[in-house]
Amino acid sequence: MQLDLEALNTQLSEQGYKLTRQRRAVVEVVTHAHTRFSAADVLAKAQRACPDLGLTTVYRTLEILEELSAIRRVHLDNGCEGFAPASAEHGHHLICSRCQETIEFEDCNLTALLRRVSEQTGFTIQQHWLELVGLCPKCQPRK
Amino acid sequence: MQLDLEALNTQLSEQGYKLTRQRRAVVEVVTHAHTRFSAADVLAKAQRACPDLGLTTVYRTLEILEELSAIRRVHLDNGCEGFAPASAEHGHHLICSRCQETIEFEDCNLTALLRRVSEQTGFTIQQHWLELVGLCPKCQPRK
DNA sequence: GTGACTGCAAATAATTTGCATTACA
DNA sequence: TGTAATGCAAATTATTTGCAGTCAC
């Protein structure tokens, strides 16, 4: 399920955000991304369509897109953060450690686990963060 | 299961690391931590015992402790990273969103989930990252 | 026309590195 | 004593903010 460029532009507009050239360029890149990305990654790609785009605007736009749940924060290898397209209401990401391909999965049936941990610790669990790393089919060694 | 101060010092020593005053102070703080912490947190606490400790050394020591699996990286709310004591070979952390109390749990029975995701996507899953956030018993509102 | 949006440059913040000095084993 | 470890200051890197000019609606 890929993010829809038009739908996202419409949503921005409906929320009162102006559809500037810069925002369109960022949204274009983000909706077509099939890997996780950093703000700098977005800048590099979006500048092809919009050369005068600045990094500040990328940060500001990513912030908006996160609010709209169009993207979600993920972790990059260096420890700091990046973003990935998010279509599901509640989803997690699976990232290829070799080619960085990133896909979203909605199946997070952690109910039993959460209940056990909750019972054992007395904690009330509010949120969970789950991210999987592996090798996508293309990057797996041939047998 | 708490980290053992002496055991960790011994381990450092056996690995060829010198037991300097600074390292002892950092290890002391880390082994007694019951919340996740940043490098700056460690500096502040460890300086009580070792006033001339520098932040650089804290970073360097945390790096070593991570290699030794005595601590594990976790995520802080601001998006960047922190550390938490790690005793289990493979564990995850449960963090109180109010008081920051952090405990480790080893139960991560994600086998079924991992298998499903793997089957659906064709990915070979190598690692998983799981972190839970909730309210510890002390911080839960009274009924 | 006007307020939201922009880029730039400067400010923050977190972390890393170079280097001369110090201290553990 | 020799080498690893240290603190400091400077360098990097990531991100945020202030502000004057610009543009979508």
pLDDT in tens, A9-21: 999 999 999 999 9
In chain A, DSSP assigns E strands to 71-75, 81-85, 92-96, 102-105, 124-135
pLDDT at B51: 95
- Average pLDDT score over residue span B70-76: 86
The predicted pLDDT at position A2 comes to 61
Distances, alpha carbon A102 to alpha carbons A109, B54, B75, in Å: 20, 39, 20
Q: Does pLDDT of B81 surpass 80?
A: no
pLDDT band at B58 (very low <50, low <70, confident <90, very high): very high
A53 touches strand C (CB under 7 A): yes
- Select from A29, A141, A122, A74 the least CA-distant residue to B124: A141
Instruction: Flag whether pLDDT at B78 surpasses 60.
Output: no
- Mean pLDDT, residues B32-36: 92
User: Which B residues 104-143 have CB within 7 Å of strand D?
Assistant: none
Any B CB within 8 A of A112 CB: yes
Å: A51 CA to D21 C1': 18
What whole-number distance in Å separates Cα of residue A8 and Cα of residue A21? 14
Which parts of chain A register pLDDT below 50?
A: 1
Is the model's pLDDT at B71 over the cut of 70? yes
Point out which residues pair with B37 in neighbouring strands: B83
Kindly determine whether the C-beta of residue B69 is less than 7 Å away from any atom of nucleic acid strand C: no
The answer to whether the beta carbon of residue A67 comes closer than 7 angstroms to any atom of strand D is: no
B39 contacts B65 by C-beta, under 8 angstroms: no
* Rounded distance in angstroms from the CA atom of residue B83 to the C1' atom of nucleotide C14: 14
